[in-house]
Amino acid sequence: MAAITIKSAKEIELMRESGRILALVHEELEKIIEPGISTMDIDKKGYELIKGFGCIPSFLNYNGYPASICVSINDEVVHGIPNKKHILREGDIVSLDAGVIYKGYHSDAARTHAVGTITPEAQRLIDVTRESFFEGIKFAKAGNHLHDISKAIQNHVESNGYSVVRDLVGHGVGRELHEEPQIPNFKTVGRGPKLVPGMTLAIEPMVNAGAYDVWWLEDDWTVVTQDGSLSAHYENTILITEDEPEIFTLKK
């Protein structure tokens, strides 16, 4: 198992810029979300934006993944493959997951959006998922342990009557998209590694309105809820410091 990398000041500077660009990409993608567009339209726009910022879309060809943006609708949890036949409809929720490489450094972030008017229940799922990230990172501080974050995410999700996906987790991020450590959004054995300034982490709760069980579609990528319930995703790349974490992929 590779060790957790601690980034130098120079590396942090590059990751900060990588994250700043990714925040802008998400901001622009949100603007085109409306009934009638295809998930392929979102991917095309994402590719153009990322290239336009002089970055590389890190998901494209990652383990054979065929697109730049993962677009997951309703009961799709993550890794939906863009398709020109998949059209957003009023009332859907859609998760966009994107990654960029800037001067060799990755950032990774996801958002879930409403398509037109959605039910209050769907909106609450989106809100609780985002909130669980912020509950988690209250513990993202040097001296704490990784699983303090995991526990806080799970507590927020479950106290709102939802469930946390078990089969996928967050991860360290830096020169690679996926670095050590794995970051579960739920309680596991032990406290996890101690958090140290200079760690850069992609924390990404995936939350189902129903049960946490998921399976993979025939395309070997798209993850869906087994019970057909809605699922939301929220992710940012953060930096551990002595005090508050810095969120690279949110506008300052």
Is 79 near ligand MF3 (CB under 6 A)?
yes
CB of 87 to ligand MF3, least distance (A): 21
Nearest one of 230, 240, 235, 232 to 250, comparing CA atoms: 235
Tell me the window of 25-33, 45-53, 59-67, 116-124 that interacts with ligand MF3 (CB under 6 A): 59-67
Alpha-carbon distance 22 to 248, whole Å? 9
Kindly report the number of other CB atoms within 10 A of residue 121's CB atom: 9
Contact characters 16-55, ligand MF3, x per CB under 6 A: ----------------------------------------
Alpha-carbon distance 60 to 58, whole Å? 6
Type of residue at 238: I
Pairing state between β 56-57 and 93-102: antiparallel
CB of 71 to ligand MF3, least distance (A): 10
CB of 233 to ligand MF3, least distance (A): 9
Token pair listed for 100: 């960029």
Residue 62 or residue 134: which is nearer to ligand MF3 going by CB?
62
248 Cβ neighbours under 8 A, 6+ residues apart:
15, 16, 18, 19, 20, 22, 23, 107, 200, 236, 237, 238, 239
Number of residues that bind ligand MF3 (CB under 6 A): 11
Burial profile 91-109: b = 16 or more Cβ within 10 angstroms, e = fewer: ebbbbbbbbbbbeebbbbb
Taking phi over 0 as left and psi of -120 to 50 as alpha, with beta for the rest, 9 belongs to alpha
Is 179 near Co ion (CB under 5 A)?
no
Tell which one of 47, 59, 186, 212 touches ligand MF3 (CB under 6 A).
59
Contact characters 194-213, ligand MF3, x per CB under 6 A: --------x-x---------
Residue 80 or residue 118: which is nearer to Co ion going by CB?
80
Residue 107 or residue 225: which is nearer to Co ion going by CB?
107
Tell which one of 43, 75, 108, 135 touches Co ion (CB under 5 A).
108
Alpha-carbon distance 191 to 92, whole Å? 37
Residues 108-127 that bind ligand MF3 (CB under 6 A): 108
Residue 7 or residue 233: which is nearer to ligand MF3 going by CB?
233
Contact between 181 and 229 (Cβ < 8 Å):
no
Tell me the window of 2-10, 35-43, 104-112, 151-159 that interacts with Co ion (CB under 5 A): 104-112
Task: List interacting residues with Co ion (CB under 5 A).
Answer: 108, 202, 204
Task: List interacting residues with ligand MF3 (CB under 6 A).
Answer: 59, 62-63, 65, 70, 79, 97, 99, 108, 202, 204
